[in-house]
Amino acid sequence: MNKLNIGCGKDIKEDYINLDIENYKGVNVVWNLNKFPYPFDDDYFDEILGEQVLEHLDDPIKVMIELKRIIKDTGMIIIRVPHHAGGNAYADVTHKQFFNSRAFNNLAEKTNTILSYCRIGFGNSYWDFPIISAIINLHSGTRKLFDYYLCYLIRPIEVEGVFIK
């Protein structure tokens, strides 16, 4: 399997091609993700992982279109970003974009991809109870209710989505 870890920073993953703008130890490809096209062939990867990177980039739509180009038809793109209502979203001044689960729906629509899975995560917060998480992530309607109203009462950590062609 060909797997790509974009914007990996120092989080080097075994069995992945680790890509970052900085030449940290273990990075296989040094590349600015705001520069297109990426240095990979069409339909090359089985999996692309982007953890805490999309919020740092200039144009998430262009990035997703480029990821769609280099992912195989049977592959998946896994994206994790800070939820807009979580403390981490605004704490990092290098964040250019802010996300909730509805933004992932919009991103899928704008890039002609399918959002096959979406989850609002609570990490290690005191709200990380399986029953609360299960209710909030039950379907897109409860996630929308949470994203628009309840997220300021029960603070989430991240949004995770799996996109396919």
pLDDT single digits (tens) 67-106: 999 999 999 999 999 999 998 899 999 999 999 999 999 9
Q: Check whether 61 has a pLDDT greater than 80.
A: yes
Q: How far apart are CA 84 and CA 13, in angstroms?
A: 26
pLDDT digits (tens, 9 = 90+) for 126-139: 556 678 888 899 98
**Locus of tokens 């009462």:** 153
CATH label of the domain that carries residue 77: 3.40.50.150
Q: How far apart are CA 139 and CA 114, in angstroms?
A: 15
- Could you tell me if 102 and 144 are in contact, meaning their C-beta atoms sit under 8 angstroms apart? yes
The total of other beta-carbon atoms located within 10 Å of residue 31's CB is 16
Q: What is the pLDDT of residue 125?
A: 57
Coil, strand, or helix at residue 84? coil
Mean pLDDT of 102-121: 96
Q: What is the pLDDT of residue 133?
A: 83
pLDDT band at 124 (very low <50, low <70, confident <90, very high): low
Number of domains in the chain: 1
The DSSP bridge pattern shows strands 3-6 and 17-20 to be parallel
Q: What is the pLDDT of residue 126?
A: 55
Tell me the residue range of the domain where 53 lies.
3-164
* φ, ψ (nearest 5 deg) of residue 36: -120, 150
